[in-house]
């Protein structure tokens, strides 16, 4: 069953001048407030394999939790990347505010929170942050400064990889 994405009613999707559509607040969102919950189609490893074989785009979020992406269909797709994002993950399908987000600010997520593996962005990041990494890759979560910034708030899969790395 395909559940709809949920976005905080204080957010609207707007056209930007340089990066397509983005999410902007219409009033302040407080630190810790829910920003976005992906509905999507979450499945186990067996179902994910079948979907992959059928040519669908599959993302892994936890040990045995995958989503079958229907990109472009759902509002959750319109969150833009920033290398110094104002949201982070609370669990496999929920983004919360990392800090207070002022009215009119763009709501962003660092794609390093969930990208893992051989992903390399086809675009060059222009987030303007002094922390900007340029291109976003599925290896960014391994960078010490990225880990320090989002510790415990990556996808559950990446959180546990980081924990293991520290232990080993």
Give me the residues that bind Zn ion (CB under 5 A), please. 83, 125, 127, 132
Question: Which segments of the chain are extended strands (E)?
Answer: 6-7, 11-15, 21-25, 34-37, 41-43, 57-62, 65-69, 80-81, 87-91, 94-97, 106-109
> What's the closest the beta carbon of residue 133 comes to Zn ion, in angstroms?
6
β-strand 57-62 against 65-69: which pairing, if any? antiparallel
The position carrying tokens 């969930």 is 114
> What's the closest the beta carbon of residue 126 comes to Zn ion, in angstroms?
7
Q: SS3 letters for 128-168?
A: CCCCCCCCCECCHHHCHHHHHHHCCCCCHHHHHHHHHHHHC
Nearer to Zn ion, 125 or 158 (CB): 125
> What's the closest the beta carbon of residue 112 comes to Zn ion, in angstroms?
10
> What's the closest the beta carbon of residue 130 comes to Zn ion, in angstroms?
10
Nearer to Zn ion, 109 or 125 (CB): 125
Q: How far apart are CA 132 and CA 55, in angstroms?
A: 33
> What's the closest the beta carbon of residue 166 comes to Zn ion, in angstroms?
26
Helices (H), 25-155: 45-53, 144-150
């Amino acid at each position: 069953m395909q559940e709809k994405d949920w976005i905080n009613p204080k957010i609207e999707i707007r056209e930007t001048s340089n990066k397509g559509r983005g999410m902007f607040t219409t009033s302040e969102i407080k630190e810790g407030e829910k920003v976005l919950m992906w509905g999507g189609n979450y499945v186990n490893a067996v179902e994910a394999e079948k979907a992959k074989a059928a040519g669908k785009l599959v993302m892994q979020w936890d040990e045995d939790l995958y989503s079958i992406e229907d990109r472009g269909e759902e509002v959750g797709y319109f969150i833009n990347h920033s290398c110094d994002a104002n949201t982070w993950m609370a669990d496999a399908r929920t983004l919360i505010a990392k800090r207070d987000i002022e009215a009119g600010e763009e709501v962003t997520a660092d794609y390093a929170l969930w990208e893992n593996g051989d992903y390399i962005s086809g675009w060059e990041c222009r987030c303007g942050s002094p922390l900007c990494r340029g291109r976003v890759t599925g290896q960014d979560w391994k960078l010490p400064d990225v880990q320090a910034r989002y510790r415990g708030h990556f996808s559950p899969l990446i959180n546990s990889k980081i924990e293991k790395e520290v232990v080993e």
